[in-house]
């Protein structure tokens, strides 16, 4: 697994800005476009500007825009999916503000598909209405294209590629920027700003099979946790039910919108997989579908199940799902001959850095938006296509918080009483071997693969206590062996290990099954003890 880093000379690398954005997906770029009215914005990204999970999003963005839909129905569907942990006030806010944020994306040049002059709305699992605004099955790519074009046209925004944030700069309790690793010389550089937005995405790369790109290594969560910000609900990892089998690295995602158009999940013998499991059949929420597939594969010994797309006319398939068709053909699969072979793969982290309704973290000057954040919207299970929506709503609200602080003549404040972020768990700081640029005894790539295999086997769709305990011990050993080298690969590995540690500790603590978190030794929900977030702080 070679990930060579280019040598880039940056004699004019900016060392300060009015606002610093870490990450170049939908959350970071939409924030930058609006924040540019408040001052100079510096966006840094550790790879190229288009390398983000947004670019890989296939389904679309959910919003109550249909003639038979409204924010109240969207609210109900989201709460029904969230396993009792979604915050109704935050969900209502996102559902209510979502349509305006989608219209802003259109104003920025996003070309969503239309039929008869109206937006073409799809349906996905857990939704009671057609409300998925889409650009075929390459919605994320289209959003990224438009936002990057808009950013390039703004003289107040500078984007620096191949510059990895390593740690937050915290002085007198406030975030004042980041230290970053320039691959040109391997030395840390300080980038200072009175306001920093973390928009670094998720951590799907902690798992052996994932739909996430290689950049999804949990950097923002790890940095924020090291700096003292609370993180929450890291045990709730969403596994997308339909990744193309056999999986590559990353796995090719077969969009859920196919099931919204009539595709049906079947066993290899042709029997409907979801019949009798859930009233919505193949359009049940992702936690139910992924766990059903997992159970079926364990029972049958088969390697995959099939997605039967025969209910979708072939000409319609080619027009609406060109990405799925291209991906299938690339692996020699004819969707209409025997169906599409699919398996679950790690897809999305519902947990992250705790924020208030304005995207503010507990550390003054530090905001978070997108998959890196835990806003209270997703709870124990994310409703399909709410991720892009949550990202644009909270990045917008972060800018509103800045504007309000400017009008009041001060800096953005933390936005909640301390009681709301009392630690359920305190974890000691991760142990690292050696100092300076020590190298691990085991190669970086070998350690990374070992971790991903461990997480897939022991902390996947189904978990149990003894396996989690063993996994935590092994992760601690890997942390001690990882070293502290100054390369992108070394920093990514440490972040992956630290995020995995948070996931396992949270899963051990939650001795019940809820939403995306299923423990075979505690298979039922326990509202008396666990109807609350799992919040972690550094001890």
pLDDT in tens, 50-92: 555 565 666 799 999 999 999 999 999 999 999 999 999 999 9
Q: Is the pLDDT of residue 423 over 60?
A: no
Structural domain spans, the chain = 245-344, 430-538
Mean per-residue pLDDT, 508-529:
97
Q: Are strands 41-44 and 157-160 parallel, antiparallel or unpaired?
A: parallel
Average pLDDT over residues 123-141: 90
Long-range (24+ apart) CB contacts under 8 A made by 314-323 are: 316/261, 319/136, 320/113, 320/136, 320/137, 320/257, 320/261, 321/136, 321/137, 321/255, 321/257, 321/258, 322/136, 322/137, 322/138, 323/58, 323/136, 323/137, 323/138, 323/255
Confidence bin at 364 (pLDDT 50/70/90) = very high
Strands, DSSP E only, in 140-261?
157-160, 164-171, 174-181, 188-192, 195-198, 231-232, 237-244
Q: What is the CA radius of gyration of the chain?
A: 22
Tokens of residue 19, six digits: 């606002």
DSSP bridge partners of 197: 21, 367
Query: Which segment of 320-329, 433-442, 450-459 scores lowest on mean pLDDT?
Result: 433-442
* pLDDT, position 13: 78
286: annotated active-site residue: yes
Q: What is the model's pLDDT at position 376?
A: 96
Q: What is the pLDDT of residue 405?
A: 85
User: Which pLDDT score, from 0 to 100, does residue 484 have?
Assistant: 82
pLDDT digits (tens, 9 = 90+) for 312-346: 999 999 988 988 999 999 999 999 998 999 999 99
367: β partners: 197, 360
For the residues 448-476, what does the mean pLDDT come to?
Answer: 97
For the domain bounded by 245-344, which CATH number is listed? 3.90.700.10
- pLDDT, one tens digit per residue, over 402-420 is 999 887 766 555 544 444 5
The candidate with the shortest Cα–Cα distance to 110, out of 147, 85, 74, 79, is 147
pLDDT reading at 23 higher than 60: yes
Q: What is the pLDDT of residue 286?
A: 87
pLDDT tens track for 209-220: 999 999 999 999
HSE of 295 in the Cβ direction (CA atoms, 13 Å)? 11
CA-nearest of 153, 41, 66, 59 to 108 is: 153
**For residue 501, pLDDT beyond 50:** yes
**Among residues 356, 360, 412, 362, which one has the least CA distance to residue 38?**
412
Residue 382 pLDDT grade (very low, low, confident, very high; cuts 50, 70, 90)? very high
pLDDT value of residue 8: 41
- Tell whether the model's pLDDT for residue 422 goes beyond 50: yes
Distance CA 413, CA 158 (A): 26
Please give the average per-residue pLDDT across 163-173, as a whole number: 96
Question: Helix-strand-coil percent breakdown of the chain, rounded to 5?
Answer: 35, 20, 45
pLDDT at 38: 94
- Domains 245-344 and 430-538 fall in the same CATH topology: no
pLDDT for 332 equals: 95
Across the chain, mean pLDDT equals: 90
Q: Does position 151 have pLDDT exceeding 60, yes or no? A: yes
Mean pLDDT over residues 180-195, rounded? 86
Tell whether the model's pLDDT for residue 7 goes beyond 50.
Answer: no
Is the CATH number of domain 430-538 1.10.580.10?
no
The pLDDT tens digits of the residues spanning 221-251 come to 999 999 999 999 999 999 999 999 999 999 9
pTM, rounded to two decimals: 0.92
Tens of pLDDT, residues 275-294: 999 999 999 988 999 999 99
Mean pLDDT value of segment 527-538: 94
Q: How far is CA 368 from CA 43, 177, 373, in A?
A: 14, 13, 6
Catalytic entry in 49, 101, 141, 286: 286
pLDDT band of residue 2 (cuts 50, 70, 90) is very low
pLDDT at 48: 73
Q: Can you give the pLDDT at residue 117? A: 87
Q: What is the pLDDT of residue 410?
A: 61
Q: State the pLDDT at residue 418.
A: 47
Sheet containing 188-192: order of strands: 164-171, 174-181, 188-192
């Amino acid at each position: 697994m070679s990930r060579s880093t280019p040598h880039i000379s940056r004699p004019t690398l900016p060392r300060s800005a009015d606002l610093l954005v870490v990450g170049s997906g939908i959350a970071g770029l939409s924030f930058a476009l609006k924040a540019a009215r408040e001052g100079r914005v510096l966006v840094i990204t550790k790879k190229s500007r288009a390398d983000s999970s947004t670019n890989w999003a296939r389904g679309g963005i959910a919003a109550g825009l249909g003639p038979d839909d409204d924010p109240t129905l969207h609210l109900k569907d989201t709460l029904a999916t969230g396993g009792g942990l979604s915050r109704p006030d935050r969900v209502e806010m996102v559902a209510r503000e979502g349509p305006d944020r989608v219209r802003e994306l259109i104003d920025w040049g996003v070309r969503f598909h239309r039929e008869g002059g109206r937006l073409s709305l799809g349906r996905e699992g857990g939704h009671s209405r057609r409300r998925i605004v889409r650009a075929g099955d390459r919605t994320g790519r289209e959003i990224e294209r438009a936002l990057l074009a808009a950013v390039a046209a703004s003289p107040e925004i500078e984007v620096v590629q191949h510059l990895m944030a390593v740690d937050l700069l915290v002085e007198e309790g406030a975030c004042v920027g980041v230290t970053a690793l320039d691959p040109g010389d391997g030395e840390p550089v300080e980038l200072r700003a009175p306001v920093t937005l973390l928009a670094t995405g998720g951590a799907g790369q902690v798992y052996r099979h994932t739909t996430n790109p290689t950049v999804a290594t949990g950097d923002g969560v790890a940095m924020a946790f090291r700096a003292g910000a609370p993180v929450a609900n890291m045990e709730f990892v969403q596994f997308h039910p339909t990744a193309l089998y056999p999986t590559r690295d990353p796995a090719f995602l077969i969009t859920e919108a196919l099931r919204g158009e009539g595709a049906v999940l079947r066993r290899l013998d042709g029997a409907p997989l979801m019949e009798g499991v859930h009233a919505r059949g193949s359009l049940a929420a992702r936690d139910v579908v992924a766990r059903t597939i997992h159970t079926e594969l364990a029972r049958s010994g088969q390697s995959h199940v099939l997605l039967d797309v025969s209910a979708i006319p072939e000409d319609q398939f080619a027009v609406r799902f060109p990405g799925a068709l291209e991906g299938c053909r690339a692996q020699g699969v004819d969707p209409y001959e025997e169906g599409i072979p699919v398996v679950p793969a790690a897809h999305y982290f519902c947990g992250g850095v705790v924020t208030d309704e304005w995207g503010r973290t507990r550390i003054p000057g530090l905001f978070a938006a997108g998959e890196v954040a835990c806003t209270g919207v997703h709870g124990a299970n994310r409703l399909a296509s709410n991720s892009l929506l949550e990202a644009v709503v909270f990045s917008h609200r972060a800018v509103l918080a800045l504007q309000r602080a400017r009008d009041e003549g001060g800096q953005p404040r933390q936005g909640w009483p301390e009681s709301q972020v009392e630690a359920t768990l305190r974890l000691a700081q991760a142990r690292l071997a050696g100092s300076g640029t020590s190298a691990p005894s085991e190669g970086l790539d070998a350690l990374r693969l070992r971790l991903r295999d461990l997480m897939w086997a022991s902390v996947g769709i189904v978990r149990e206590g003894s396996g989690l305990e063993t996994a935590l011990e092994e992760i601690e050993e890997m942390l001690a062996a990882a070293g502290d080298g100054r390369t992108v690969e070394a920093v990514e590995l440490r972040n992956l290990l630290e995020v995995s540690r948070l996931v396992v500790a949270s899963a051990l603590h939650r001795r019940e099954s809820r939403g995306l978190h299923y423990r075979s030794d505690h298979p039922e929900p326990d509202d008396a003890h666990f109807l609350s977030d799992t919040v972690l702080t550094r001890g």
